[in-house]
Structure formats: structure tokens, C-alpha cells
Structure 1
């Protein structure tokens, strides 16, 4: 069984300072505490697109789980629902995009 991850992509916020404060002080601690079954959490700040055009997204969060069943159980739990609703609430640049992907890792 392959691992999976939840990807949350946040558009550029209309109020950068407020978004960053709420993301760091509220959202990340909530995700760490309430997303049961996770094995890893990666929070990325997007600096630019590779082609140097304006970046469409400001932050991308990746939450890893051992299986799709574990991810689905987390998302349907009260903690998962609260955390997802909070992600939408703090995303002042528009609704975040939520994706689920299968993970294949190659280490070099």
C-alpha cells in the first residue's frame, strides 16, 4: 500500500501579514494537534514560479498519511473538519485548493 498526502495550496493572500501570522500561530499548531494519523507535515512558502512569472500560490502544505483510509478517516474526523474549515477561513486570497495524491519517493 502506498502512502498518500493531502496537499493544500493557498492563493496569494490579500493581507499578507495577517495571513502569515494566522498561518504560523493558529493553523500550523492546529494541524499538528488535530490531524490524527499524519506521519509528516511540510509547509512551503512559494518564492516564485520556475519561469519567473508571478506565483499563483503563496503557500503549499503537504500532510502525509500511511494510507488513503487513514487520510479519509482524518478528514472526516472533527479535528480534520475543523482544520480544513480553518484553512478556508484564513485564506484571504480565495479558497485554497485541496488535493489528494499518492506518494512515490526517490531518495538520492
Structure 2
């Protein structure tokens, strides 16, 4: 069995200042606290424009698990459901894309 990863991709927010404040001050600590079984959490920021081309996304959160069964257990937990709901709530551009 190999490691597994949960990915949350955020679109460019319509309210950048509010999104960044809530992401940094609330979402990251919630994800670290409530996503049980993870081995690491990586939050990445992308510039909205590179070479005058607008990026379709703004941030990507990657949550790593040692095995797929730990990821599956996390996905079925109330902590993950709460964190995913919060991710949708703070995403002002449109709903984030979540995949495992």
C-alpha cells in the first residue's frame, strides 16, 4: 500500500483580503486539528497572473496520509466534514475542488 493525499484547490477569490485572512487565521489551524491521521499538511499560494495569463486557481492545500485507509477514515469523519464545509464557506470565487 502506498501513501494517499487529499487535495483542495481554491479558485481565485472575489474578496482576496477576506479569503486570505480566514484561510491563514482559521482554515489552516482547523485542518491541522481536525483532519485525523494525516502525516503532513502543505498549503501553497499561486500568483494570480504569470506572463499576463490569469491562473484559474489561487491556493492548493495538500493533506498527506500514510495509507489510503487513513485517508478514507478521515474522509468519513465529522472533523473532515466540518473542515470541508468551512473550505466551501471561505471560498468566495466559487466552490473549491476537492479530490483524493
> Into which bin does the TM-score normalised by the smaller protein fall?
over 0.9
Matched, 1:78 2:69: no
Paired residues, number: 100
Paired residues for 1:1-108 under 5 Å: 1-47=1-47, 53-100=53-100
Partners of 1:37 and 1:74 lie apart in 2 by 7
Structure 1: 5+ residue stretches without partners: 101-108
Partner SS state of residue 59, structure 2: strand
TM-score by length of 2: 0.94
Shift of 1:50: 6.7
- Give the aligned CA root-mean-square deviation in angstroms: 1.4
Shift of 1:46: 0.7
Partners of 2:77 and 2:83 lie apart in 1 by 10
* Off by >2 Å, runs of 4+ in structure 1: 48-52
Partner SS state of residue 31, structure 1: helix
